[in-house]
Chains A and B, each alone.
Chain A
Amino acid sequence: MSTPTTLFDKVWRAHEIHRSESGQSLLWIDRHFVHEGSFHGFNKLGERALPVARPDLTFGIADHYVPTLARDLDGVADPKVRSMIEQLSYNTQRHGVTLFGLDDPRQGIVHVLGPEQGLTQPGLVMVCGDSHTATHGAFGSIAFGIGASEVAHVLATQTLWQTKPKVMRITIDGQLAPGITAKDIALTWIARLGADGARGYAIEYAGEAIRALSMEARLTLCNLSIEGGGRCGMIAPDQTTFDYLRERPWSPKGEAFEQACAYWKTLYSDPSAGFDLEVTLHADEIAPTVTWGVSPEEALPIDQALPDPENISDPAKARQARDSMAYMGLSAGQKLTDIKIDRVFIGSCTNARIEDLRAAASVLAGQKSRVPGMVSPGSTLVKTQAEAEGLDRIFIDAGLEWRHSGCSMCVGMNGDLVASGERCASTTNRNFKGRQGPGARTHLMSPAMVAAAAVSGHLADIRTLSSQASATGVY
């Protein structure tokens, strides 16, 4: 009998080309996504006059810098932003790489587009010059973010040197209560283990609550692996995965799909496989969670109050809490639901898939947002779908802007920014200082919780909001 093996090890082994004496592995890369920011990588390739080794395994996606007000490059006022999008077109065209560009009806954020198009599949090794590449692990692939030197290396060789990380399993037992989402699972474990709690590990998510998650929710959960410091996050593929992949544009077809499926069904951690670290949470422990500070680890259940640094025994943590509260303009002991907001943003590779928009729209239906805000769907196809379902009307009638798809206000590269000092309830992934713009204050939460904050004008508990709304027959 073969040794019990983890899901991660099964996929890793299938891609190991060579192991050096020092223990580094040279891995085969099945998919490499490049975006506007990958220009450094293309330039490094150019310096050596090397071709792209496997253009058929490389895909270009315009997302980080694209305008969300129009799909017209001429409308981009900043010539440097325009040039970023043009450089991607030039580099992909020159090297014969498929491009999902600004004018493409399939355009979207790379981590929404890949799964949606069926490019993301179980058992693959996938990389992209973006830390949220961990998203694709939701299908049972090893997917991780890389830097520009590594982008150049993959372009030149279709391989990458990696030291094998340790493997940890995060198990969520039981069933999530209504209103509790993948975002809440992620913020809860990160708050508990710390923003570097999974550093040096590949994460496998398992357990009853994970199995019950939709593909979209699994993508959200794996997406946030990096916010806890994980190298990647993955979930063993199952019927939910196979059903999602059937009939996707780039999925294997016919007999090939059946062959693939037979292999994909072998991709799980054997029952007695050993993990370097096991963490178990019960679904009952997870509440709607929001961040209050400037690191994703500074998160709390919505019905709680900010900590008092005076009562934090660890001086480093007390210092960090004071610093975070000063930046966020909050005070010790303040109730989270008392925090007034200036703006909302629904978008990003974390939470802008169709289910996310439906969840936010269900709270906003027939309501007005008390603050301005925008909704940027995760892809142009998600946008089209949402419009077919009438979700765009709900957002517009609530007073929010309905934009095109892109990374938008999650990272502000295209000019969609939160003003200095403004407080934004956001479905994104990073509450870092200045992430959404210099001086911007970000609170991370699920789409329904952002919608709840919008109708309340302050951070709000979706559970009490829904019960109030349903009592008056609105919800």
Chain B
Amino acid sequence: MQPFTVLESLGCALPAANVDTDQLIPARFMKEPRSVGYGQFLLYDVRHDEQGAPDPEFILHRAGANDAEVLVSRRNFGAGSSREAAVYALVDYGFRCVIAPSFGDIFASNSVNNGLLPAVVEEDDAERLLTALGDHPAEINVDLVEQRIRVAEVDVPFTVSPVWRTKLLNGWDDIDMTRQHEETITRFAKDYARKFSWASPQPPETNIISKG
């Protein structure tokens, strides 16, 4: 994964609270293979009318939005469904960082697993950033080394778990990390199976084999 250090890009303001993962990608698009590119589905029902016509006023349809890599929003961003597709939609659209006062737990871990930084700011600072960006994509600087965000004169700190910061700074992948512990895992599994023998699933005598 591409390491994340300092990002100098355009930012978009999405001044709404509770932007849940159902809004980030409506369920009906999730049967598509990733190869089609999930960016087209991002916030689909929020930025299109019922006939599928794009809302020209929506921030992602403003000039420059295609080059934006940072999204700023309000409280509880990414709440709800564990669908990683919500992160795929953001990443495939081109976003590398979302800034909000709080994030849905599962969304935040999914983000880090895809190189997308979930940066937590104070509620007041989120409002200052939203105001500074305005209703058009504008220049923004996100510095993961110093943990600061700058838009014009506004300069605010952000937090991110130290574990995630390290992962993002290095572009590390969990499976590689875990496989270094293979021996420890094998030993643990053996001890565990002895100590908690009943925890191994016991198939019923008349187990049905399902074909589909």
Residues of B in contact, count (CB < 8 Å): 66
B212 touches A73 (CB 8 A): yes
A residues in contact with B161, CB < 8 Å: 163
A residues in contact with B189, CB < 8 Å: 28, 158
A80 touches B45 (CB 8 A): no
CA distance A84 to B175 in the complex (A): 25
With A129-B82, A195-B76, A438-B26 known to touch, is A161 a contact of B174 (CB < 8 Å)?
yes
Q: What total count of A-B pairs have CB within 8 Å?
A: 214
Q: Mark A226-264, 1 if CB is under 8 A from B, else 0.
A: 110101000000000000000001111100110110010
With A18-B181, A195-B76, A195-B79 known to touch, is A56 a contact of B23 (CB < 8 Å)?
no
CA distance A158 to B200 in the complex (A): 13
B28 touches A413 (CB 8 A): yes
Task: Kindly identify which residue among A40, A57, A316 contacts B85, using a CB–CB cutoff of 8 Å.
Answer: A40
Asked if B185 is an interface residue, CB under 8 A from chain A, the answer is yes
Asked if A389 is an interface residue, CB under 8 A from chain B, the answer is no
Asked if B73 is an interface residue, CB under 8 A from chain A, the answer is no
- In the complex, which residues 170-208 of chain B have their Cβ closer than 8 Å to any Cβ of chain A? 174-175, 177-179, 181, 184-185, 188-189, 192, 196-204, 207-208
Asked if A475 is an interface residue, CB under 8 A from chain B, the answer is no
CA distance A129 to B83 in the complex (A): 7
Task: Kindly identify which residue among A20, A28, A85, A250 contacts B202, using a CB–CB cutoff of 8 Å.
Answer: A250
A89 touches B22 (CB 8 A): no
Shortest Cβ distance from B87 into chain A, in angstroms? 7
With A99-B210, A256-B198 known to touch, is A146 a contact of B34 (CB < 8 Å)?
no
With A17-B185, A229-B105, A411-B27 known to touch, is A40 a contact of B114 (CB < 8 Å)?
no
A412 touches B166 (CB 8 A): no
B105 touches A434 (CB 8 A): no
Asked if A100 is an interface residue, CB under 8 A from chain B, the answer is yes
Asked if A123 is an interface residue, CB under 8 A from chain B, the answer is yes
- In the complex, which residues 8-39 of chain A have their Cβ closer than 8 Å to any Cβ of chain B? 14, 17-18, 20, 22-24, 26, 28, 30-31, 37
A89 touches B26 (CB 8 A): no
B84 touches A263 (CB 8 A): no
Asked if B17 is an interface residue, CB under 8 A from chain A, the answer is yes
Task: Kindly identify which residue among A50, A86, A231 contacts B212, using a CB–CB cutoff of 8 Å.
Answer: A86
Task: Kindly identify which residue among A17, A257, A413 contacts B188, using a CB–CB cutoff of 8 Å.
Answer: A17
Q: Mark B72-94, 1 if CB is under 8 A from A, else 0.
A: 00111001111111010000000
A residues in contact with B181, CB < 8 Å: 17-18, 26
B198 touches A157 (CB 8 A): no
Asked if B154 is an interface residue, CB under 8 A from chain A, the answer is no
Residues of A in contact, count (CB < 8 Å): 96
B26 touches A434 (CB 8 A): yes
Task: Kindly identify which residue among B46, B80, B84, B212 contacts A89, using a CB–CB cutoff of 8 Å.
Answer: B212
Asked if A184 is an interface residue, CB under 8 A from chain B, the answer is no
- In the complex, which residues 163-196 of chain A have their Cβ closer than 8 Å to any Cβ of chain B? 163, 194-196
Asked if A156 is an interface residue, CB under 8 A from chain B, the answer is yes
Asked if A48 is an interface residue, CB under 8 A from chain B, the answer is yes
Q: Among A101-109, A280-288, A463-471, which stretch is in contact with chain B?
A: A101-109
A residues in contact with B196, CB < 8 Å: 14, 123, 263
A432 touches B82 (CB 8 A): no
A156 touches B106 (CB 8 A): no
Q: Which of A50, A123, A229 has the most CB of B within 10 A?
A: A229
Asked if B16 is an interface residue, CB under 8 A from chain A, the answer is yes
A residues in contact with B34, CB < 8 Å: 40, 43
With A105-B208, A131-B80, A131-B82 known to touch, is A80 a contact of B31 (CB < 8 Å)?
yes
- In the complex, which residues 126-184 of chain A have their Cβ closer than 8 Å to any Cβ of chain B? 129-131, 133, 144-150, 152-153, 156-159, 161, 163
Asked if A200 is an interface residue, CB under 8 A from chain B, the answer is yes
In chain A, what residue has the closest Cβ to B176?
Answer: A48
CA distance A65 to B31 in the complex (A): 9
CA distance A327 to B135 in the complex (A): 22
- In the complex, which residues 423-447 of chain A have their Cβ closer than 8 Å to any Cβ of chain B? 430, 432-435, 438-439
B residues in contact with A129, CB < 8 Å: 82, 84
Task: Kindly identify which residue among A31, A101, A196 contacts B76, using a CB–CB cutoff of 8 Å.
Answer: A196
CA distance A107 to B79 in the complex (A): 28
Q: Mark B95-137, 1 if CB is under 8 A from A, else 0.
A: 0000000101111011001100000000100000000000000
CA distance A101 to B208 in the complex (A): 10
A131 touches B211 (CB 8 A): no
With A131-B81, A158-B189 known to touch, is A195 a contact of B18 (CB < 8 Å)?
yes
Asked if A462 is an interface residue, CB under 8 A from chain B, the answer is no
Asked if A323 is an interface residue, CB under 8 A from chain B, the answer is yes
A residues in contact with B53, CB < 8 Å: none
Q: Which of B75, B107, B200, B212 has the most CB of A within 10 A?
A: B212
Among all A-B residue pairs, the 7 with the closest Cβ atoms = A147-B110, A149-B113, A147-B84, A101-B210, A145-B82, A148-B84, A252-B198
15 A/B residue pairs, CB under 8 Å, sorted by A:
A131-B80, A144-B106, A147-B83, A150-B109, A161-B178, A199-B76, A199-B104, A200-B105, A257-B198, A263-B198, A411-B81, A413-B27, A413-B28, A432-B23, A439-B45
**Interface residues in chain B, defined as those with a beta carbon under 8 Å from any beta carbon in chain A:** 16-18, 20, 22-23, 26-28, 30-32, 34, 45-46, 50, 74-76, 79-85, 87, 102, 104-107, 109-110, 113-114, 123, 161-163, 166, 174-175, 177-179, 181, 184-185, 188-189, 192, 196-204, 207-208, 210-212
Given A89-B211, A98-B210, A249-B204, 4 further pairs, Cβ under 8 A: A104-B210, A106-B208, A196-B102, A295-B20
